[in-house]
Amino acid sequence: MKLLILGGGSGQLSAIKQSKEKGHQVIVSDYFEDAPGKTYADYGETVSTFDIEGNLAVARKHGIDGVMTVGTDQPVLTATKVADSLNLPTFLSLSTAKAVTNKKIMKNTFQKYKIPTVNFKILKKDFSKDELNNIKFPVVIKPLDSQGQRGIFKLNTLGEIRERFSEVLKYSREEEILLEEYYESKEITVSGWVVDKKLKILTVTDRIRYADSLHIGICTAHIFPSLFLRSHYREIKEISEQIVQGFNIENGPIYFQLLIGDDGIKVNEIACRIGGAYEGDFMPYLTGVDILDLMVDLSLGLDLKKDQLLDYEINNNNKWLSVQLFFASPGKICNMSTVNELMRLPWVMQAGFNFSKGDKIGKIKNATERAGYFIVQGGTSREELKENINKTYNTLKICDYLGENLVLRKLGEVL
């Protein structure tokens, strides 16, 4: 069968390879001509994953049987619209796909179904001061329809909001932005799978974020299990099921970001996709559920192997694992470790770099400056996981021309 995969970056490589291994012909669309996923695909098309008409043309050209994306937000809507237009299998309705990719609809749906979230406003560029009468500073402003923490700022004054407004809109196709009260909190992610509107939670991880006074929300690591799994599981499950019902999610993957602070759990954002922290790669080891395999079959309208979902129970999972999404200080790379060096460490499941020798690394503004990742097994204890992460960072080198290791290990090494 012919499968169109939206996106050819590192987050989509495993989906492309697995689809090929399952015997399908793969077409990859990506804005970048040299996207790495195109190397593994049967056909590569230079089309933005945001471009619905462009991907419809690609779909018709190749006579596809299904379309999908993983690890990225906005292409979920593109995939749904392409599938709906061509009467191909789709696991989301158009209204649900729009609601989980547009923060204005998302936040209004939270309000409608009493799903806990922070106080917010949707603002136009000419907004009045009075619109913020019930808002407490500091605040966070975001594009309504972007991804990768682009255009997100933590601000302290009305003047700063006006100053940054146009910059936020650069990352959006809308003329409004989202403003939220900043909530001092820890963040967790809930990954799972929905079958006939029934949710199976697969993982709850601590999502470690880069702490910066301006740029916030940039993920540097995931740790399983979350420190909040046992103490808050019942509430996490209830809120997650409330989201599934409120957004009419009938089938497929879910990825929810929740905030836990003094005022309880607040829902930050939600998505109907496999997470972007290589969840598709570590889930089979961690849970016994191959969500990439499920995703490929779902997108092609094939029967799913649902027994693996029925056999899993998160509260019986005693494994420890971390995905380290590491960054580096600004500089030009002279020498660096290889993937093979990292993979020789017995506890490293997978690793990859986003830069090469000779490349320049810039300041951290969003997730696009991430230097690479590695997935670490931790056995059955937090202490063993911490030790394995530490030993991996001792091996990891990204050095400038002065021989200084630029890797910012402390951003992810937080156990």
pTM across the whole model: 0.95
% of residues, the chain, pLDDT over 90:
92
Phi and psi at 341, nearest 5°, equal -60, -45
Coil vs helix vs strand at 247: coil
Query: What confidence tens digit (pLDDT) does each residue in 388-405 have?
Result: 999 999 999 999 999 999
Confidence check: pLDDT of 148 > 80: no
In contact, 267 and 110? CB cutoff 8 Å: yes
- Sequence-distant (≥ 6) Cβ neighbours of residue 197 within 8 angstroms: 244, 245, 249, 250
Q: Mean pLDDT over residues 107-114, rounded? A: 98
Quote the crossing angle between the two packed helices 103-112 and 229-246, to the nearest 10°.
Answer: 100
Confidence check: pLDDT of 211 > 90: no
Residue 213: per-residue pLDDT: 67
In contact, 286 and 137? CB cutoff 8 Å: no
Residue 191: per-residue pLDDT: 98
Confidence check: pLDDT of 212 > 80: no
CATH H superfamily, domain 119-181: ATP-grasp fold, A domain (3.30.1490.20)
Residue 44: per-residue pLDDT: 98
Residue 227: per-residue pLDDT: 97
Query: What confidence tens digit (pLDDT) does each residue in 169-203 have?
Result: 999 999 999 999 999 999 999 999 999 999 999 99
Confidence check: pLDDT of 147 > 80: no
Instruction: Name residue, tokens 């492309």.
Output: 16
Q: Say how far apart CA 171 and CA 145 lie, in whole Å.
A: 8
Q: Which of 24-28, 211-215, 320-324, 365-369 has the lowest mean pLDDT?
A: 211-215
Domain boundaries, the chain: 2-90, 119-181, 186-316, 321-411
Q: Say how far apart CA 374 and CA 347 lie, in whole Å.
A: 10
Residue 13: per-residue pLDDT: 96
Q: What 8-state DSSP symbol labels residue 316? A: G
Tell me, which fold does domain 186-316 have in CATH? D-amino Acid Aminotransferase; Chain A, domain 1 (3.30.470)
Query: What confidence tens digit (pLDDT) does each residue in 245-288 have?
Result: 999 999 999 999 999 999 999 999 999 999 999 999 999 999 99
Coil vs helix vs strand at 207: strand
Residue 186: per-residue pLDDT: 97
In contact, 239 and 258? CB cutoff 8 Å: yes
Query: What confidence tens digit (pLDDT) does each residue in 36-85 have?
Result: 999 999 999 999 999 999 999 999 999 999 999 999 989 999 999 999 99
Checking phi first, is residue 234 left (phi over 0); if not, alpha (psi -120 to 50) or beta?
A: alpha
Has domain 2-90 been given CATH number 3.40.50.20? Answer: yes
